């Protein structure tokens, strides 16, 4: 096959690729490689297609082969970095981006990708610099504006972050991720009217999948009369979200609806105890309702504001006999002490877990407080080796679902938790709760306050700066010392 023919096939593959015909482009690239196995651009093209299809390991292999054949392509290194970030090889991704920028110093996409890699390496200041570099090289680079906004949030500059997200949306009005990021910052700032509206863009962000669907889907509820109607109230995202927003079932029931909650098994029996819930079901046994809505869409439809949050607690109720059994067991542990339920870590898979979770050993500051006994509410996660001097009791092997965890949580005197589902559980149970909040808070904790309008019995202990748990833990230690003395 002549060089001209090979070039023609490559141009055809590129044309198909640019038009979005990925199967056709892949076939053309492979046809070319059958004639010229060392065609670096064809290997790179297959790698890019694999990236677009979410096959990151395959993408990395193809692009790495291309780099071995041609180490002078900035595009190769930049796209290789994208695959490496997706494979959680962040330092290697940063190194690949630096090579791309050495080859092409004005390469805005490589600067943006380096920012992403550095952000994943937990180096926010460096990441911010490269996002700014990308914007400087291309002021109309919507993704760089979005990523820069995220870093401004990390630095506590929420108003400025909102401006950056809005700039990204100006450049691409259908940029779902920027809309979602804008929603989060608006809700964090307490602008619920605009925040809940923007939050609906989450459905166009691929990470979000609703827990329960029925087919054919009923109309999405937008405020229609619910008298005598059946409505499916579906959970989404994490267990904490389900616990927080199931409170809206009562409002829907008060509007005349029969409320069916669609939920995942670990939390199903607990959500069934919420006021207003008629039934908790799974997708395969739900009779087609008149309407459906996701829990986190209800505040938008009801136009919830900070002043109208339905905040009455408790609204979840574990079995009374199970609670009493735990109280009896706790009373037999020894001399009467302040029983403190403790949860120090969330799911490792959570995108912000490195900022919200705290190693158990960091609680050494509270270990020696007299008259305090710590009860683990940690179902799974990091090692449960308590710091020296801490009286630590672990019943978590007996937890079967959230209802069983809630029974023990109801039996303790106080709950201390990081920002995870246990904090929401404690708040929904109406228990005194101290929650440790990272410097960049989740939207529901708002800013500059030590209470929560969602949970009246909760106190918030916030980081004063990124990564600083010493200060909130010191305040918590002083407060717990005083409480233990008063209890004694």
Handedness of CA 109, 111, 114, 120 (dihedral sign): negative
The residues facing 393 across adjacent strands are: 375
pLDDT of amino acid 208: 62
User: Which of 92-101, 271-280, 339-348, 381-390 bottoms out in mean pLDDT, i.e. has the lowest?
Assistant: 381-390
pLDDT at 219 over 90: yes
Q: Which residue has the higher pLDDT, 251 or 9?
A: 251
Domains of the chain: 3-204 (1.25.40.10), 230-302 (3.40.50), 320-487 (3.40.50.2000)
pLDDT higher than threshold 70 for residue 285: no
pTM over 0.85: yes
Average confidence score pLDDT of the chain: 92
Return the percentage of the chain with pLDDT > 90, whole number: 76
Task: Please state the rounded mean pLDDT for residues 191-197.
Answer: 97
Whether pLDDT at 207 is above 70: no
For position 283, what pLDDT does the model report? 58
pLDDT tens digits, one per residue of 3-48: 777 787 788 888 889 888 888 988 888 988 888 899 999 999 999 9
Phi, psi torsion values for 32, nearest 5 degrees: -65, -45
Per residue in 69-95, pLDDT (tens digit) is 999 999 999 999 999 999 999 999 999
* Lowest-confidence segment of 73-77, 141-145, 360-364, 393-397 by average pLDDT: 393-397
């Amino acid at each position: 096959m002549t060089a001209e023919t090979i070039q023609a096939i490559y141009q055809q593959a590129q044309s198909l690729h640019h038009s979005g015909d990925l199967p056709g482009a892949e076939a053309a690239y492979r046809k070319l490689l059958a004639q010229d196995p060392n065609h670096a651009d064809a290997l790179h093209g297959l790698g890019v297609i694999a990236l677009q299809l979410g096959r990151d390991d395959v993408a990395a292999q193809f692009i790495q082969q291309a780099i071995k054949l041609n180490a002078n392509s900035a595009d190769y290194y930049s796209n290789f970095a994208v695959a490496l970030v997706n494979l959680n090889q962040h330092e290697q991704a940063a190194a690949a981006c630096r090579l791309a920028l050495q080859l092409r110093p004005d390469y805005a996409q490589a600067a943006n990708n380096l920012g992403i890699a550095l952000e994943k390496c937990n180096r926010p200041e460096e990441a911010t610099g490269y996002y700014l570099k990308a914007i400087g090289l291309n002021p109309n680079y919507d993704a760089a504006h979005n990523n820069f906004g995220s870093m401004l949030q990390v630095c506590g500059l929420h108003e400025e972050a909102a401006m950056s997200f809005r700039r990204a949306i100006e450049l691409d009005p259908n940029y779902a991720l920027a809309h979602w990021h804008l929603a989060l910052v608006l809700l964090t700032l307490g602008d619920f009217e605009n925040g809940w509206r923007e939050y609906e863009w989450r459905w166009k962000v691929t990470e979000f999948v609703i827990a329960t669907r029925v087919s054919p889907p009923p109309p999405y509820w937008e405020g229609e009369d619910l008298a005598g109607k059946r409505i499916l109230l579906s959970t989404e995202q994490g267990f904490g979200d389900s616990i927080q927003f199931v409170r809206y079932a009562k409002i829907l029931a008060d509007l005349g609806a029969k409320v069916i909650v669609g939920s995942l098994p670990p939390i199903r029996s607990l959500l069934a105890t919420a006021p207003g819930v008629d039934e908790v079901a799974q997708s395969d046994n739900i009779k087609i309702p008149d309407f459906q809505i996701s829990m986190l869409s209800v505040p938008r439809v009801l136009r919830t504001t900070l002043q109208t949050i339905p905040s009455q607690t408790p609204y979840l109720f574990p079995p009374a006999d199970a609670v009493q059994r735990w109280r009896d067991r706790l009373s037999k542990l020894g001399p009467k002490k302040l029983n403190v339920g403790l949860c120090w870590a969330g799911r490792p898979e959570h995108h912000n877990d490195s900022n919200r979770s705290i190693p158990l050993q960091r609680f050494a500051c509270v270990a020696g407080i007299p008259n305090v006994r710590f009860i683990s509410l940690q179902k799974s996660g990091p090692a449960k080796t308590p710091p020296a001097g801490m009286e630590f009791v672990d019943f978590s092997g007996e937890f079967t679902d959230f209802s069983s965890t809630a029974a023990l949580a109801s039996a303790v005197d106080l709950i201390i938790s990081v920002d995870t589902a246990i904090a929401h559980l404690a708040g929904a149970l109406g228990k005194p709760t101290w929650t440790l909040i990272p410097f960049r808070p989740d939207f529901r904790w708002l800013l500059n306050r030590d209470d929560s309008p969602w949970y009246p019995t909760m106190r918030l202990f916030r980081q004063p700066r990124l990564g600083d748990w010493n200060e909130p833990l010191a305040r918590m230690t002083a407060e717990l010392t005083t409480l233990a003395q008063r209890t004694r």
